[in-house]
Amino acid sequence: MLAYILRRTLYAIPILIGVNLLTFWLFFVVNSPEDMARMQLGQKRVTPEAIEKWKKERGYDKPLLFNAEAQGMGSVVDTIFFEKSVRLFVFDFGSADDGRDIAYDIRQRMVPSLALAIPVFLVGLLLNITIALIIAFFRATYIDYMGVIISVMLMSISALFYIIGGQFLVSKILHLVPISGYEGGWSAIKFLILPVIVGVVGGIGSGTRWFRTIFLEEINKDYVRTARAKGLAERVVLFKHVLKNAMIPILTGVVVTIPLLFMGSLITESFFGIPGLGSYTIDAIRAQDFAIVRAMVFLGSVLYIIGLLLTDLSYTLVDPRVRLS
Amino acid sequence: MVYRDRGKTTFSLILWAALFAVLLLALTGCGEGAWNNPHPAAERDQNTFYSSFSLRPKHLDPAQSYSSNEVVFTGQIYEPPLQYHYLKRPYTLTPLTATELPRPYFENAQGQRLPDDAPPGQIAFSVYEIHIQSGIRYQPHPAFAKDASGQPRYLGLNEADLRERNQLSDFSDTGTRELVAADYVYQIKRLAHPRLNSPIYGLMAEYIVGLRDYAKTLGEAMQGGGAGQDRYFLDLRKYPLPGAEVVDRYTYRIRLHGEYPQFVYWLAMPFFGPIPVEADQFYSQPGMKEKNLVLDWYPVGTGPYMLTVNNPNRQMVMERNPNFHGETYPTEGEEGDRKKGLLADAGKPIPFIDRVVFSLEKEDIPTWNKFLQGYYDASGITSDSFDQAIQVSSQGEVGLTDTMREKNIQLSTSVAASTYYMGFNMRDPVVGGLSERARKLRQAISIAVDYEEFISIFLNGRGIPAQGPLPPGIIGYQPGEAGVNPYVYEWVGEGPNGKLKRRAISTAKQLLADAGYPAGRDANTGKPLVIHLDSTGGGPDDKARFDWLRKQFAKIDLQLDIRSTDYNRFQEKMLKGTAQLFQWGWNADYPDPENFLFLLYGPNAKAGKNGENAANYENPEFDRLFGKMKSMPNGPQRLQLIHKMVDIVQRDAPWVWGLHPKRFSLYHAWLKNIKPNDMANNTLKYKRIDPQLRAEQRLKWNRPIVWPLVLTAVLLIVGFIPAMIIYRRKQHSRGVQ
């Protein structure tokens, strides 16, 4: 297994270089270093000298990908791409364009992101699986039909509607929790209740429908019939046998998302004023801060690769027949 | 078996009950008060002002900070020598830390003093000597902390010393010291610091003697001393600047090239606030920057407030500076201020508010709802919430809706010292130039684009149509008939009943025909005239505006081609002078007409010169008058020149004059002493809160409504009953009948 992990880790390097190159290209297609300088220096009374100085101080005065004036390796090394990318591979994210340390900000913002994402993930998973199993249990009854109709309806509603509707109903009309905001420690709970509910409710439709399909597929298999023939209660058949055997498709979709919980939620964090990594990324895109965008995309890619690796590893845990080699 | 199941059920019931209790406790904030209060319950009766910010400030260093969302903080912390009177209009400068308003004296090229009425040609230098008050002390700060031997407590820190210190509050000891003239000189020198990129360096280098060379000297010093201590801390005291000198402990001197009467207005901005060298030294230590412990994020000032929490990701908190030198609320103001209760606190010591909390709010809807719930003390009005807040009567009078009045919310309106316009590129072969043909074409377009309609449709009436470059509140602006732009409007009626009326479209069409474009076609070629507008918009919100604009041009049979681009491409086009028509705006830096008329001064063109004259307008007569007006003291003669200049540009029409925005803001009844002030940025110290009234109203407006939760629970249980019946039936049914 170690060899497998090592091989997958080595595969990750060209993927990360590719992602980095793509981010770099996409970013500089729409922004030039001059644009970035202008964005940072403001719009009023900015001189060309100030723009040049800003670029020079941050290393944006060099060619983007290829330095025709340099000799040998210098033509590749003495470029913005190389200088800005190579440090990422040792997780040195450097400073944002406004001078703030990116690693420090990521550390600070990771906690609120996780405080929101983990409950949404766990409660959502538990609820979706439970509802899907119940629907599967009542298959071909009015409960099943209603369940599918409601799921499709819930899926069809925009996430923004859940957020604004939730804020309107729970906070504005019923006055039960704050509309938005965040505090550290236990005080965070009162700010997280609503976004967690919104996150869970927003995901019920698609989650339930997906899990229901998986369970219905399993329910018609021979081992289920055998279990029933043994005289096991339907509850035991579903929660013990079907759930266990449905774990591979569930893990495929679920484990890969676990590391990405660190990245936060873009819209929810923004609307609920949660200072997490999702809003950090959005702010950076708006501010044309390449340093942060690059760091966050890189981090996201690394986490995604870790997620895929964990998914593979998790197969061996739930299905002893799977061997990684 | 049965008992074990029951035990499990009981256990899970207890678990759920416990979870519910924890949630309830969290909801109530473990105490009494509204459940939806986003602020800690302990702050309920505190004298705290609550506000929000949507963009985190980029800079809090007074040498760099220029944006309005930054001066909200720096304006309260740093004290430049002068400030604007809070209540008086027109805007009036008063001393802040200075003992009096400085009056410049003049010198010739040989440095000999000239009489005050010396002709401008002889004046080589203007010299400002500024005397500051003694006894003013800085806020408590670790940079001033001393150890037992009187040495700086936190200088020469190493990596180990900084390991556990991530915020300013992690430095347990603080100190203070008296404000001295050298601190102001130090900050003026910082404007030229190569590391800081001050936005006003370019402008100030034109005026402050030796500032340009000083920047070079510092650049060389940084390169030369790269390996030494200068790599981190460049001690500006070692490098003299001839344009800024310390005269004595409480006096400093600023020497400017030529005459620049508007310089005093800059002395009311945080750019010219004091910076103690100790702070620069403290923050420049190795390892500080990596922890974001920099002056740009932790300002050090003498003002009424100090920044105690700086978490721009969530919250920024300012608290009363215990060392504040003290000031009193103004005793005089504008006519009508007393009636409005704005002088009720006259002569009382300020600041009134102990603490100011700014919370990060990125979306308008939550911010607006929190204001309505009483959790923010004041709010602007977005387009989304306009109808909810404001009603416009059939006579066009603006008032609050019943919902707002029920809550006793107050409305404050003011016309901003800003101008939003549509500019013609005067270097463009079609619309530009000073020929009669081009002039008439521009005048025709100016008539066709109906800004009254624009204000009504897109701004909910929040603006007034501009007659020229000068907005209300700026010397030279003329209200009523006297200020009418006769090329676009006419004045109908007499006296107070008179009103503006846009000239008829037929007039515009005639002007167009005179310009050689009858019915919108080139008289020589017969081709339709297409005007190209470069704009940064392009989203769904902009579509309606663009459609409206096309409609305006179509009124005189012109075609408008809108070229949407991002802001940076747009800037590039403007710098190269390749745009034909564009939309732009300007907010006043200071209340002098020079700050608006310079936007049309030839040598200040955007294309090629990177000036602020975005239209690249160049009229020799206007430029001559500008040169004269710029250095004149305010008075009838200057006013006459200003009117003449406005007449010239009204006729030349380099801009479609656009509008001056009207600002509407709402505030709760418990917030007192609110008067919009477009120039002053240190107005927080005048505001007062009635915390008792606020606490009562919040409680009244936010009583939790729990019954829908109970009802939902009941419905869920009821809904489960048939399911349970089916389940039991299924469990007990036989497999084979």
| pLDDT score for A141 | 83
Closest CA to A215 of A160, A140, A134, A157: A134
| pLDDT score for A157 | 92
Q: What is the per-residue burial (b if ≥16 Cβ within 10 Å, else e) of B30-48?
A: eeebbbbbbbeeeebebbb
Give the separation between CA B695 and CA B718, rounded to whole angstroms.
Answer: 40
pLDDT greater than 80 at residue B660: yes
Closest CA to B24 of A151, A186, A176, A199: A176
8 A C-beta contact, residue B36 and residue A178: yes
| pLDDT score for B485 | 96
How far B214 CA sits from the closest chain A CA (Å)?
15
**CATH architecture of the domain with range B418-663:** Roll (3.10)
Give the separation between CA B147 and CA A268, rounded to whole angstroms.
Answer: 48
pLDDT greater than 80 at residue B496: no
User: pLDDT of B285-328, one tens digit each?
Assistant: 988 887 888 999 999 999 999 999 988 888 999 999 999 999 99
What's the first-to-final CA gap in chain A, in angstroms?
A: 6
Give CA separation, B685 vs A202, B52, B459, in Å: 45, 17, 31
Length of chain B: 737
Closest CA to B646 of B594, B591, B582, B583: B594
Interface touch B38/A178, C-beta < 8 Å: yes
| pLDDT score for B726 | 77
| pLDDT score for B6 | 46
| pLDDT score for B1 | 38
Give the separation between CA B448 and CA B455, rounded to whole angstroms.
Answer: 15
User: pLDDT of B564-586, one tens digit each?
Assistant: 887 777 888 888 999 999 999 99
Closest CA to A242 of A136, A122, A104, A96: A136
Interface touch B194/A273, C-beta < 8 Å: no
User: pLDDT of B247-264, one tens digit each?
Assistant: 999 999 999 999 899 999
The encoded tokens of residue A50 equal 């100030």
The encoded tokens of residue B110 equal 């040989």
Helix (H) or strand (E) holding B399: strand B398-400
| pLDDT score for A43 | 67
Q: CB-side exposure of B671: number of CA atoms within 13 Å?
A: 26
Q: What mean pLDDT value characterizes chain A?
A: 87
pLDDT greater than 80 at residue B51: yes
Interface touch A177/B723, C-beta < 8 Å: no
| pLDDT score for B227 | 44
How far A174 CA sits from the closest chain B CA (Å)?
5
The rounded percent of chain B whose pLDDT value lies above 70 is 94
In the block, residue with structure tokens 């990684």: A324
User: Among all residues of chain B, which has the CA nearest to that of A49?
Assistant: B202
pLDDT greater than 90 at residue B116: no
**In the predicted model, what is the mean pLDDT of residues A178-202?**
92
ipTM score = 0.82
Return the number of CB contacts < 8 Å for A and B.
164
pLDDT greater than 90 at residue A261: no
Of the listed ranges B91-100, B463-472, B724-733, the least confidently predicted one is B724-733
Interface touch B314/A34, C-beta < 8 Å: no
| pLDDT score for A127 | 93
Helix (H) or strand (E) holding A84: helix A80-85
User: pLDDT of A37-64, one tens digit each?
Assistant: 877 777 677 777 778 888 888 888 888 8
What's the burial of A313, exposed, middle or buried (CB within 10 Å: 0-12/13-18/19+)?
middle
Q: Which residues contact B657 (CB under 8 A, 6 or more apart)?
A: B419, B421, B446, B451, B465, B466, B467, B468, B469, B485, B488, B650
- Which has more pLDDT, B539 or B551? B551
CA B655 to chain centre: 24
Q: For A30-74, give the secondary structure using H, E and C.
A: HCCHHHHHHHHHCCCCCCHHHHHHHHHHCCCCCCCCCCCCCCCCH
User: Among all residues of chain B, which has the CA nearest to that of A31?
Assistant: B568
Q: Which residues contact B116 (CB under 8 A, 6 or more apart)?
A: B105, B106
- Whether residue B351 has a cis bond before it, omega within 30° of 0: yes
Contacts of A167 in chain B (CB under 8 A): 365-366, 369
The rounded percent of chain A whose pLDDT value lies above 90 is 30
The pLDDT-based confidence of A75 (bands split at 50, 70, 90) is confident
What is the number of other CB atoms lying within 10 angstroms of the CB of residue A307?
18
Task: Cite the DSSP H helix spans in B330-378.
Answer: 364-372
Interface touch B296/A47, C-beta < 8 Å: no
Closest CA to B634 of B17, B175, B19, B93: B93
CA A282 to chain centre: 13
Domain boundaries defined on chain B: 56-306+321-328, 418-663
Give the separation between CA A29 and CA A79, rounded to whole angstroms.
Answer: 16
| pLDDT score for B7 | 47
Using CB atoms, pick whichever of A100, A109, A178 lies closest to residue B292. Answer: A100
The pLDDT-based confidence of B225 (bands split at 50, 70, 90) is low
Domain boundaries defined on chain A: 2-90, 110-318
Helix (H) or strand (E) holding B379: strand B378-380
Of the listed ranges A32-36, A69-73, A294-298, B565-569, the least confidently predicted one is B565-569
The pLDDT-based confidence of A288 (bands split at 50, 70, 90) is confident
8 A C-beta contact, residue B426 and residue B582: no
User: pLDDT of B590-608, one tens digit each?
Assistant: 999 999 999 999 999 998 8
Closest CA to B288 of B151, B168, B139: B168
Strand, helix or coil at A261? helix
- Whether residue B90 has a cis bond before it, omega within 30° of 0: yes
Give CA separation, A146 vs A135, A140, A141, in Å: 9, 10, 9
Contacts of A137 in chain B (CB under 8 A): 727
How far B560 CA sits from the closest chain A CA (Å)?
26
User: pLDDT of B430-445, one tens digit each?
Assistant: 999 999 999 999 999 9
User: pLDDT of B125-173, one tens digit each?
Assistant: 999 999 999 999 999 999 999 999 999 999 988 888 888 888 888 999 9
The CATH superfamily of B56-306+321-328 is Dipeptide-binding Protein; Domain 1 (3.90.76.10)
**In the predicted model, what is the mean pLDDT of residues B40-64?**
90
Fill in the DSSP letter of residue B343: T
**In the predicted model, what is the mean pLDDT of residues A125-144?**
88
Give the separation between CA A90 and CA B530, rounded to whole angstroms.
Answer: 56
The pLDDT-based confidence of A307 (bands split at 50, 70, 90) is confident
The pLDDT-based confidence of A154 (bands split at 50, 70, 90) is very high
User: Among all residues of chain B, which has the CA nearest to that of A280?
Assistant: B313
Q: CB-side exposure of B433: number of CA atoms within 13 Å?
A: 11
User: pLDDT of B155-167, one tens digit each?
Assistant: 988 888 888 888 8
Interface touch B197/A42, C-beta < 8 Å: no
Q: What mean pLDDT value characterizes chain B?
A: 89
Interface touch B36/A176, C-beta < 8 Å: yes
**In the predicted model, what is the mean pLDDT of residues A272-295?**
87
**In the predicted model, what is the mean pLDDT of residues A10-24?**
89
The pLDDT-based confidence of B23 (bands split at 50, 70, 90) is low
How far B125 CA sits from the closest chain A CA (Å)?
24
Length of chain A: 325
> Of B314, B316, B373, B598, which to mutate for an interface test with A (greatest number of A Cβ within 10 Å)?
B314
Using CB atoms, pick whichever of A30, A38, A190 lies closest to residue B29. Answer: A190
User: pLDDT of B608-654, one tens digit each?
Assistant: 888 889 999 999 999 999 999 988 888 899 999 999 999 999 999 99
How far A272 CA sits from the closest chain B CA (Å)?
8
Main-chain phi, psi angles of A81, to 5 degrees: -60, -50
CATH code given to domain A110-318: 1.10.3720
8 A C-beta contact, residue B313 and residue A108: yes
Interface touch B373/A105, C-beta < 8 Å: no
Task: Cite the DSSP H helix spans in B191-251.
Answer: 201-207, 211-224
| pLDDT score for B76 | 97
> Of B365, B575, B606, which to mutate for an interface test with A (greatest number of A Cβ within 10 Å)?
B365
| pLDDT score for B27 | 53
User: pLDDT of B452-490, one tens digit each?
Assistant: 999 988 888 889 999 999 999 898 999 889 999 999 999
| pLDDT score for B384 | 81
The encoded tokens of residue A60 equal 């944006």
Give CA separation, A90 vs A84, A86, A95, A261, in Å: 12, 8, 15, 22
pLDDT greater than 80 at residue B409: yes
> Of B36, B596, B706, which to mutate for an interface test with A (greatest number of A Cβ within 10 Å)?
B36
- Amino acid present at B393: S
Helix (H) or strand (E) holding B507: helix B505-514
